[in-house]
Amino acid sequence: MYEFLIARRYLRSMRRRKRVSFTVMVAAAGVGLGVAALVIVLSVSNGFSTLVWDRLLGVNAHATVRKEAGQRIEDPEELLNVLYAHPQVTAVSPFVASEGALLHRSFDDEVYSAGVMVRGVTPDGLEAVSDLSDYIWGGALDLGPRESEGRGRVYGIVIGRYLADQLGVRVGSEVHLWILPQEIFAAQTRFRRYVVTGIFSSGNPDFDSGLAFVSLAAARRDLGWERHITGVRLRFDDAFRAQETSAVVEESARRLDPALAVHPWMRDHGNLYFSIHLEKWASFLGIGLIVVVAGFNIVSVLTMNVAERRREIGILKALGVPPHRIGRIFTWQGLAVGLSGVLLGNLLGLSLCWAQQRYEFLKIPGDVLITQALPVEMQASDFLAISASATLICYLFTLFPARDAAALDPVEAIRM
């Protein structure tokens, strides 16, 4: 390991020469800034990804069991028993889904209306397959019937925050819901009275402006169904393995009815899933160019050092040191500069990310995103990938001056 000792000696000698020492510091700082930028950008990307998935999967299930042609499931009991017993399914919730319209008459007789996607669910099932209760902004997740003043029993309805603003309603307001019949020749449905018992704010504008939850019994009543359901929503142990798990569950379901299919959440949100991952690694490659540019500074430092050490290199070769060991001296020297930059960059990136997590000094306007502070999530795998990539880049840039040093002719080098 005398190559490493010589490389360390060369680095120490650079400190006495201000110009060379400054160049070394610039090279290390360039690598450090590139690494710190990568750490920060990937951590912010992770934070946004986690925030989006939490909000998306907080309202949606991991998978949905439906019939291929969109038909209703006539007798769901046997299917529910099979799904409950499946080892990879942690929660099951039957539901009825249909398009509909909501009306609200204000105190000044102004009528507000909005189209909605209606989901008839059981409160226990909804809480089992989603985290909607965590996003209740006002009221409660209460869908059961209640006595209305002189008007009999009225079911509760839970709607999104934007939808509530559009209709001008609040918790306790009375609305009228019309559900679109599912069959062509079905009996015409009519508007039914509901009371707004809860308002949720998931942070997803599509959900918050166009989704309404009613009880499964109320949805069946409005559609004239008895035991029928549209499908079953499922939750798995691992949401990001929903594709593979859905295929296994589908095999079991199709033994009961070949028309049944299990759709993982990626099917409806696959483009978002792909684009977030693509953005993360595109950022990695783009900002990684900072490290590449810093690598050229390492080349210039080593090239300058090789030129100044030509006579010493010639003496080492004359003493019988093999060319590859000569090259290794400068490889170690370049790696020392690069690794110091990698270490400083990791510390800087870690410190800034920790400070953002702890103090949330970077704020975002509430109307722009679903969070008030810039989200940050540090992952050990990102630190390892960044450090390994930066070290590899620095190593590759050391090969050029190291090769030149190894190729020097000892006689000519000593004569200079």
Query: Of 258, 290, 314, which one is at a domain's C-terminal end?
Result: 258
Quick one: average pLDDT of 214-227?
90
Q: How far apart are CA 121 and CA 218, in angstroms?
A: 9
Do 282 and 248 belong to one domain? no
Q: Is residue 82 part of a domain?
A: yes
Do 159 and 227 belong to one domain? yes
Proportion of the chain above pLDDT 70, given as a percent? 89
- Structurally, the chain folds into a number of domains equal to 2
Q: Please, are residues 182 and 137 in contact by the beta-carbon 8 Å criterion?
A: no
Query: Of 227, 258, 289, which one is at a domain's C-terminal end?
Result: 258
Q: Which domain holds residue 394?
A: 2-57+272-415
Question: Closest Cα to residue 333, out of 299, 308, 291, 294?
Answer: 299
Quick one: average pLDDT of 352-376?
78
Do 246 and 159 belong to one domain? yes
Q: How far apart are CA 73 and CA 228, in angstroms?
A: 6
Do 110 and 190 belong to one domain? yes
Q: Please, are residues 79 and 256 in contact by the beta-carbon 8 Å criterion?
A: yes
Quick one: average pLDDT of 57-69?
85
Q: pLDDT value at position 14?
A: 64
Quick one: average pLDDT of 392-400?
91
Do 343 and 223 belong to one domain? no
Do 155 and 223 belong to one domain? yes
Give this prediction's pTM.
0.77
What is the torsional sign of CA 132, 133, 134, 135? positive
Average pLDDT, the chain: 85
Q: pLDDT value at position 345?
A: 95
Q: pLDDT value at position 355?
A: 94
Please compute, for residue 117, the number of CA atoms within 13 A of its CA located in the half-sphere on the CB side: 8
350: which 2 tokens? 């870690």
Q: Would you place residue 29 in the very low, low, confident or very high pLDDT band (cuts 50, 70, 90)?
A: very high
Q: How far apart are CA 304 and CA 24, in angstroms?
A: 11
Q: pLDDT value at position 403?
A: 86
Do 202 and 320 belong to one domain? no
- 275 or 367: which carries more pLDDT confidence? 275
Q: How far apart are CA 261 and CA 258, in angstroms?
A: 8
Is the pLDDT at 10 greater than 70? The verdict is no
What is the torsional sign of CA 186, 192, 195, 201? positive
- Poorest-pLDDT segment among 54-58, 185-189, 239-243: 185-189
Q: Is residue 101 part of a domain?
A: yes
What single DSSP character describes residue 132? Answer: G
Do 189 and 246 belong to one domain? yes
Q: Is residue 265 part of a domain?
A: no
Q: Is residue 63 part of a domain?
A: no
Q: How far apart are CA 51 and CA 153, in angstroms?
A: 39
Is the pLDDT at 209 greater than 70? The verdict is yes
pLDDT in tens, 309-354: 788 777 777 777 787 888 888 888 889 889 999 999 999 999 999 9
Is the pLDDT at 4 greater than 90? The verdict is no
Query: Of 201, 230, 258, which one is at a domain's C-terminal end?
Result: 258
Q: Is residue 64 part of a domain?
A: no
Do 105 and 243 belong to one domain? yes
Q: Is residue 267 part of a domain?
A: no
